[in-house]
């Protein structure tokens, strides 16, 4: 069975409102090898922004495109406005009938920011393909690892007031959860100040050291086409944090695909057996 490679470049869409007229703009074309995740920090994915994304040559390297939807806990689904954007596309991914991988190229990731253990997220809807938590305190991280089910845990390393411990890493590995290093703060404009930059690098390096380079996902967090990075760029960035080339490769290709497979197992689905 051929290896399926996947790159998880996370682009964050921070609002929930998209007009129906914007729905048909989402027709990113990908090949059958890797994955790309896209977002914007503006209120809408405007036609011009989307066209620029769709025409970027880097996208031709990826198998999937995932749109990240960011909310703050507690998360509820009582309103239709809280449902994610409906993605339209003309191309489907070539998968077997019994494959766990999505048949649509466009997938959705929900990222929930959790700031305390007393503020747990509510029921998570099944129309998201990947579930991610972003704890902003040590108590929130411990809570997520002990009480929540997800595929990915991400951080704002330059804002964190705590460090990920070896115990946290062991618990995550036991649960099959991946830690994400989103390098967008290091590459964005305007750049981080020196203090925040040093903190980001120190915490990312510590995570690589204590995890021994395993169960990590590298992403760029691009919000505009010029911020997108290819696999070799991300591998170089990962190696600067202390990953070997093989580990950096896995954090871009193998690990994101594993997290997607695990997510598909988490979501219940109906099946039928015919004779």
Tens of pLDDT, residue by residue over 91-115, are 566 665 556 676 676 678 888 888 8
Give the domain range for residue 39: 12-266
Residue 273 in this model has a pLDDT that exceeds 60: no
- Read off the CATH number of the domain in which 160 is found: 3.20.20.140
- The answer to whether 169 and 155 have CB atoms below 8 angstroms apart is no
What's the confidence (pLDDT) of residue 16? 31
The answer to whether residue 6 sits within a structural domain is no
What's the confidence (pLDDT) of residue 149? 85
Write the burial class of residue 3 (CB in 10 Å: 0-12 exposed, 13-18 middle, 19+ buried): exposed
The answer to whether residue 197 sits within a structural domain is yes
- The answer to whether 272 and 26 have CB atoms below 8 angstroms apart is no
> pLDDT tier at 148 (50, 70, 90 boundaries)?
confident
CA–CA separation, 104 and 50 (whole Å): 18
CA–CA separation, 171 and 80 (whole Å): 35
Residue 2 in this model has a pLDDT that exceeds 60: no
What is the sign of the dihedral through the CA atoms of 242, 113, 215 and 161?
positive
What's the confidence (pLDDT) of residue 99? 63
What's the confidence (pLDDT) of residue 87? 52
The answer to whether residue 7 sits within a structural domain is no
Please state the rounded mean pLDDT for residues 49-58: 61
Predicted model pTM: 0.74
The answer to whether residue 2 sits within a structural domain is no
The answer to whether residue 176 sits within a structural domain is yes
Range with top average pLDDT, 47-51, 220-224, 269-273: 220-224
The 8 Å CB, 24+ separation contacts for 164-170 are 164/203, 164/206, 164/207, 164/210, 165/210, 166/210, 168/141, 168/142, 169/207, 169/210, 169/211, 169/215
What's the confidence (pLDDT) of residue 27? 26
Q: Is the model more confident about 38 or about 156?
A: 156
Structure-block tokens of residue 95: 């998968």
Q: What angle do CA 95, 112, 191 make, to 5 degrees?
A: 95
Q: Is the model more confident about 238 or about 49?
A: 238
Q: What is the mean pLDDT of the chain?
A: 71
Number of domains in the chain: 1
DSSP string of 175-222, one letter each residue: HT-EEEEE-HHHHSSSPPPHHHHHHHHHHHHHHHHHHTT-SEEEE---
Q: What 3-state class would DSSP assign to 168?
A: helix
What's the confidence (pLDDT) of residue 127? 74
Share of the chain above pLDDT 90, in %: 28
The 8 Å CB, 24+ separation contacts for 232-239 are 234/7, 234/183, 237/183, 237/186, 238/181
Range with top average pLDDT, 4-18, 32-46, 116-130, 177-191: 177-191
Tens of pLDDT, residue by residue over 176-218, are 999 999 988 888 878 888 999 999 999 999 999 999 999 999 9
Tens of pLDDT, residue by residue over 159-172, are 888 889 999 999 99
What's the confidence (pLDDT) of residue 215? 94
Buried b (16+ CB within 10 A) or exposed e, 171-202: bbeebebbbbbbbbbbbeeeebeeebeebbbe
């Amino acid at each position: 069975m051929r290896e399926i490679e996947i790159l998880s470049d996370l682009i964050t869409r921070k609002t929930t409102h998209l007009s129906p007229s914007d729905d048909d703009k989402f027709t990113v074309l990908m090949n059958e090898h890797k994955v790309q995740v896209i977002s914007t920090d503006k209120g809408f994915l405007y036609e011009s922004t989307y066209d620029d994304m769709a025409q970027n040559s880097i996208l031709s390297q990826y198998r999937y495109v995932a749109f990240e939807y960011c909310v703050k806990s507690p998360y509820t689904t009582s309103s239709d406005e809280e449902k994610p954007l409906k993605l339209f596309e003309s191309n489907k991914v070539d998968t077997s009938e019994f494959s766990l991988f999505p048949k649509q190229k466009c997938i959705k990731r929900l990222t929930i920011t959790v700031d305390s253990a007393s503020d747990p997220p509510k029921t998570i809807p099944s129309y998201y393909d990947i579930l991610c938590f972003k704890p902003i305190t040590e108590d929130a991280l411990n809570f997520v690892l002990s009480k929540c089910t997800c595929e990915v845990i991400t951080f704002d390393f330059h804002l964190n007031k705590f460090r990920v411990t070896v115990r946290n890493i062991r618990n995550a590995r036991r649960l099959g959860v991946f830690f994400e290093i989103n390098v967008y703060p290091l590459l964005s404009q305007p750049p981080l100040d020196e203090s925040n930059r040093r903190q980001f690098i120190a915490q990312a390096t510590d995570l690589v050291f204590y995890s021994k380079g395993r169960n990590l996902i590298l992403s760029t967090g691009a919000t505009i086409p010029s911020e997108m990075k290819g696999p070799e760029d991300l591998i170089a960035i990962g190696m600067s944090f202390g990953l070997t080339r093989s580990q950096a490769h896995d954090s871009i290709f193998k690990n994101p695909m594993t997290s997607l497979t695990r997510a598909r197992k988490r979501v219940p689905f109906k099946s039928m057996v015919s004779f």
